[in-house]
Amino acid sequence: MITEEMVIACCTDLAGKVRGKAFPATQFETRMKRGIGWTPTNVQITCFDTIAESPFGSLGDLVLIPDQAARVRVALGDDAPTEHFVLGDIYHTDGRPWEFCTRSILKGALDRLDRVAGLTLFGAFEHEFQFRDGAPRIGSAYTANGFRAERRLAQTLVAAMRTAGLEPDTFMKEFGAAQYEVTMEPSRGIAIADQSTIVCELVRLVANASGKEVTFTPIRDPAGIGNGLHIHLSFLDGEKPATWDPSGKHELAKPAGQFIAGILKYLDAIVAITAPSVVSYFRLTPHRWSAAFNNLGFRDREASIRICPVSDLSDVSKAAQFNFEFRAADATASPHLQLAAIVHAGVQGIEEELPTPDVTTDDLSLLNPSSLLARGSVRLPKSLPEALDCMLGSPTVIGWFPAGFADTYAKHKKGEMAFLEGRSREEICGLYEQVY
Ligand code: GLU
Ligand code: MG
């Protein structure tokens, strides 16, 4: 059969989906200038393929321009077509960045970090996911045999990651049924979110190529184990690591402490973006090692921000190892939007010169709201509507995004919720598992 290679030019959108349009690979150079045509109302296509209330209707035209730096071409093997995709930015036809382009929004946040603090973000997303088919094997949590069951897939994935320019770190059989985790080495700026997008696409690609289906849904069963997304972050000042200060509180350099304080201060108003689906809130409950409060933990996996361990044994310097992870996130979000919200909140903390927060060491779920508040903590929103109200109630958070963004985002999410009306929690989990 004859065949011609095609490239998918794509973006991550408000639904956390990777959407795009493919063109013949021979056109790559011209498409770098011309882009592909895009439709504004696409941004209101929900994860369930319904269209939420849109300010654009049938009007308007945009272009999505590929970014060579986010191009992936992987040939898995003889009987699979070569995979080729590229992330890009969406512009108005006159060349202005489109207000709803998630990648441009993240660029704006990273520019603010540079302007305010002279820092570059350095980090990586750590993903958990589950295989959907086949009976999960009991007794395999963290085991070598659990890894072996997917060794072929893991090794293909690692090769694909490397080909795509990602530096693989680890792959493991996680605790949950048929649950695995993939990690990679950190990268800088926009690449942090691009590489998260790429690794999820590669996991799906490699799994599908061997006839398997995976899901990154936050939780498959309301009583089950969640699929977390941990966003590891640190800073560079030029080429120098700039997060660790042995004389700082919790060994955090001053701007890093302020940045964390900013995230925690605004967390209840940005969680609608970092954990943006109805099922996100089935997972963000105490005692799941997810995140239920806006607290900082020192190596504590119940905290929404955890200061990660450094080791004296490593070949990497302490200053370069030192990082913190944001845990109130899942893979139903656009990584670009997630990171934009986190960076804006962090930079806000730097601008407000907030003090480095205390770490919590006890079980916050045992405290009543007033004792919680006395500690400077709040319970995070318990549902998506509550989280959206919190976001819409914060003029500061709304102001970080382009005009009209927060309102349109909330309408998108309302459209998503409308599709779920009248369904049980189990049915809702089942639907999200299909689409993420
Ligand atoms: N599966 C947990 C979650 O839902 C995270 C477990 C871990 O700390 O790796 O977030
Ligand atoms: Mg994990």
pTM beyond 0.95, yes or no? yes
| Dist. CA 364 → ligand 1 center (Å) | 18
pLDDT at 326: 98
The verdict on the CB of residue 218 being under 6 Å from ligand 1 is: no
All CATH 3.10.20.70 domain ranges of the chain, comma separated, are: 6-98
Superfamily of domain covering 6-98: Glutamine synthetase, N-terminal domain (3.10.20.70)
- Ligand 1 pocket test, pick from 129, 230, 305 with the greatest ligand atom count within 8 Å of Cβ, gives 230
Contacts of residue 11, Cβ cutoff 8 Å, sequence gap at least 6: 18, 19, 20, 64, 87, 88, 89, 90, 101, 102, 103
Q: What is the dihedral of CA 38, 39, 40, 45, to 10 degrees?
A: -110
For residue 12, what pLDDT is reported? 98
What average pLDDT score do residues 280-305 get? Answer: 92
Q: How far apart are alpha carbons 213 and 220 in whole angstroms?
A: 14
| Any ligand 1 atom below 6 A from CB of 226 | yes
C-alpha to C-alpha distances, 77 to 81, 207, 364, nearest whole angstrom: 8, 13, 50
Provide the pLDDT for residue 418: 98
78 has a pLDDT exceeding 80: no
Give the residue whose CA is nearest to atom 3 of ligand 1: 228
Going 73 to 202 to 305 to 295, the CA torsion angle's sign is: positive
Q: Identify the pLDDT of residue 130.
A: 97
* Rg of the chain, C-alpha, whole Å: 21
301 lines ligand 1 (CB under 6 A): yes
> By the 8 A CB rule, do 103 and 10 touch?
no
User: What is the best residue among 127, 142, 175, 279 to mutate for testing ligand 1's pocket, by most ligand atoms within 8 Å of CB?
Assistant: 175
Ligand 1 binding pocket includes 228 (Cβ within 6 Å): yes
Contact (Cβ atoms closer than 8 angstroms) between residue 214 and residue 220: no
102 has pLDDT over 80: yes
Ligand 1: nearest atom to the Cα of 218: 4
- The end-to-end CA distance of the chain, in Å, is 33
Amino acid 79: pLDDT: 82
Closest atom of ligand 1 relative to the 181 alpha carbon: 9
Q: Check if 379 has its Cβ closer than 6 Å to any atom of ligand 1.
A: no
In angstroms, rounded to a whole number, what is the distance separating the alpha carbons of residues 138 and 142? 11
Q: Give the distance (Å) from ligand 1 centre to CA of residue 297.
A: 15
Architecture of domain 105-435: 2-Layer Sandwich (3.30)
Confidence of residue 80 (pLDDT cuts 50, 70, 90): confident
**Quick one: which of 287, 293, 315 has its CA closest to 306?**
293
pLDDT of residue 369: 86
Q: How far is the CA of 291 from the centre of ligand 1 (A)?
A: 9
pLDDT of residue 134: 76
H/E stretch holding 127 reads strand 120-131
Q: Which helix (H) or strand (E) holds 426?
A: helix 425-435
**Residue 435, number of CB atoms within 10 A of its CB:** 17
Question: 259-269, pLDDT tens digit by residue?
Answer: 999 999 999 99
* Residues of each domain in the chain carrying CATH 3.30.590.10: 105-435
Mean pLDDT of 202-226: 95
Q: Residue 300 — pLDDT band, cuts 50, 70, 90?
A: confident
pLDDT tens, 313-327?
Answer: 999 999 999 999 999
Residue 299 confidence (pLDDT) above 90? no
Question: Is 231 near ligand 1, meaning CB less than 6 Å away?
Answer: no
**Pairing of β 187-188 and β 296-298:** unpaired
